[in-house]
A and B are shown apart, each in its own frame.
Chain A
Amino acid sequence: MRTNPALIAMLAAGLAVSACSKKPPAQLPPDPGGAVSTETPTASTGPTPGSQADFVATLMGQDTILFDTDQYNIDSADQAALAAQAQWLAKYPAKRATVEGHADERGTREYNLALGERRANAAKNYLVSLGVDAARIATVSYGKERPVALGSDEGSWARNRRAVTVTID
């Protein structure tokens, strides 16, 4: 599929305005440990363009999309975030990314692994529908094993039901 950065930019702008059902998390997810390597930019002037740090800085929380309990559908807020991700990926066509799917702690371990995969895959499919080459996007699921919010309450669970896109430096 051909990428059209202008179209993606328009989509992103339009959807960002209409999005209101879910807020991106205030706190960024932890770096994903051994799964990918994340380099810290050396220059004090800001992240290297095209780096994961640049991706995180550019997306301002939109590297993460959130899901309702047991759900994996992409709602309007998710669409806006994914469009912003696709825009960045269109700008750096050599970059690859991994979408990490997660679940909240209120489910069984194995099911949540599969549920996280399903969420990561839903995010990937949407990125592909926006013109990102499917071969550039890998998916991984951590189920409930890597929460970003540590409480056992609705607010924490809502933040943990997520798919996080991490670009590969």
Chain B
Amino acid sequence: MRTALLTLVLALSASPALAQTAEPAPAQTAAASAEQAIDVTDDSDWQNQTIAIPAFATNADVPTRTSAGSTAALGNALAGVITADLQNNGLFKPTGPGALPRPALAQIQAPEFGGWQARGTDMLIQGFVRAEADGQVTVGCYLYDVALKQQLAKAGWTLAPGEWRRAAHKCADMVYSRLSGESPFFDSKVAFIAETGPKDRRLKRLAIMDSDGQNFTYLTTGQTTALTPRWSPDYKSILYLSYFNGQPRIYILDPATKSQRLLLSARNPLFAPRWSPDGQWVLYSMAQAGNTDIYKITAAGGSPVKLTDSPGIDIGGSFSPDGSRIVFESDRSGSQQVYVMNADGSNQKRISFFGGRGATPEWSPRGDQIAFTHIVGNLRVATMDPSGGSLRYLTDDWQDEAPTWAPNGRVIQFFRTARNTGRTSVWQVDLTGRNLRKLDTPVDGSDPAWGPLRP
């Protein structure tokens, strides 16, 4: 987390357009104790960067087919979604449309810098909405540095009415990446398991939502228990586990049509399906006579390749972003620990040596970190580097498990189980561990699986 912040701070200070932003304080870190020195908590300069996001203007307030209403209402809703995106990451101090004057269309490309400066605004996001004749909506998004009176970035999109929130996420992505130097991630989706019902009779259905928890949609009916979904890299398929006649099997479901196919048929239980980064391979585990090993098979089917052959449970593989290595968990040593092997199964090496148990490893899309569940009584979400060093806890609760990475490798979602009730919820935390929040899903949720940035 410290590395992440430091990178952000450096990226900021290196950006000429943002030269007026408060300096990171190297003297302070240097003077601090060793413990404080690596803990760059003084990111208040960052969080104090004020961003104003007034309602987007429109050329004409006319009805749209979006769920937000007319173009004027849509302009207000867009600014609200952008505000929430930027708010929830703790990097900025955004002010939403409710507390701000609404600029006229003519001001979108010629902001009233003086007025915004008087309000103490550092950054200004303005935009417009236009209804197209064919029912689509066009959204423009502009980022300004108020002190410099300068435009930093702009972009525009024409989208189907049902996709209007994407424009807000794309705008937030543009602002986030321009100001932080990091890759975007808001315009992405999460597959997860929607849970309802009492603890001993939980109905577990496959569902999807946008990265911010909105646009919730069920994909299965709940007649069979669904678990552990994963998006394909192109968003066209979801791998998941489903109980058919009581036996867990791996299916590939098309979220557009909700049709699915059995990936492979076996008399033995199949677990933990995972895509390779290129979508060509599927990793999975199969239990045979009490022994579970990891296999891979091409996504089209064919002959499985057995990758592990240890007495014990080998499960939960995750490819490195270049596809060359796989991180997985195994209890071959006597307890669950995290191991790395080459993609062909060779060179299997344990990497977790810090006590407790290590489970559900997920390789970051940036390749630099592995997120996992660390179990010492309680279950906590933690990260380490691919050689097993730099252990960091991101959460500290009774039962947090199954981390999944945002497309930019800077934010993690996971699920939390409540003591006694067994109620589950999807949570999000950044790599500092300080910006933790629960996603507002309409029902309980578990096993979040964050997809890549949408194509």
Query: Does B315 sit at the interface, judged by CB under 8 A?
Result: yes
Give 22 CB contacts A-B under 8 Å: A34-B246, A35-B246, A72-B290, A98-B246, A105-B422, A108-B359, A108-B402, A109-B401, A110-B228, A110-B316, A111-B316, A111-B359, A113-B248, A113-B271, A114-B287, A117-B290, A122-B290, A140-B246, A145-B202, A145-B227, A151-B420, A152-B422
A107-B375, A114-B315, A152-B419 known; A30+B292 contact, CB < 8 A: no
Are B287 and A147 in contact (CB-based, < 8 A)? Answer: no
Query: Does A57 sit at the interface, judged by CB under 8 A?
Result: no
Query: Does B204 sit at the interface, judged by CB under 8 A?
Result: yes
Are A140 and B272 in contact (CB-based, < 8 A)? Answer: no
Query: Does A85 sit at the interface, judged by CB under 8 A?
Result: no
A 96-116 contacts with B by CB, 8 A: 98, 105-111, 113-115
A152 nearest CB across to chain B (Å): 4
Are B224 and A110 in contact (CB-based, < 8 A)? Answer: no
Are A111 and B329 in contact (CB-based, < 8 A)? Answer: yes
Are B313 and A114 in contact (CB-based, < 8 A)? Answer: yes
A34-B223, A70-B335, A105-B417 known; A140+B200 contact, CB < 8 A: no
**Set of chain B residues within 8 Å of A7, measured between Cβ atoms:** none
Residue ID in chain A nearest B244 by CB atoms: A34
* Supplied contacts A108-B379, A109-B402, A117-B290, 18 more A-B pairs, CB within 8 Å: A35-B243, A105-B417, A106-B375, A106-B399, A107-B336, A107-B359, A108-B373, A108-B401, A113-B269, A114-B285, A115-B313, A117-B292, A118-B291, A125-B290, A140-B247, A145-B204, A150-B199, A151-B420
User: Which residues of chain B have a CB within 8 Å of any CB of chain A?
Assistant: 198-202, 204, 223-225, 227-228, 243, 245-248, 269, 271-272, 285, 287, 289-292, 313, 315-316, 329, 331, 335-336, 359-360, 373, 375, 377, 379, 398-399, 401-402, 417, 419-420, 422, 446-447
Residue ID in chain A nearest B290 by CB atoms: A121
Range of interface residues on chain A? 20 to 34
Residue ID in chain A nearest B292 by CB atoms: A114
Query: Does A148 sit at the interface, judged by CB under 8 A?
Result: yes
Are B269 and A34 in contact (CB-based, < 8 A)? Answer: no
**Set of chain A residues within 8 Å of B199, measured between Cβ atoms:** 147, 150
Docked CA distance A66–B225 (Å): 24
Encode A129-164 as 1/0 by CB contact (under 8 A) with B: 000000000001100011110111000000000000
Docked CA distance A147–B417 (Å): 14
Q: 3 shortest A-B CB distances, which residue pairs? A: A35-B246, A121-B290, A108-B359
B412 nearest CB across to chain A (Å): 15
B313 nearest CB across to chain A (Å): 4
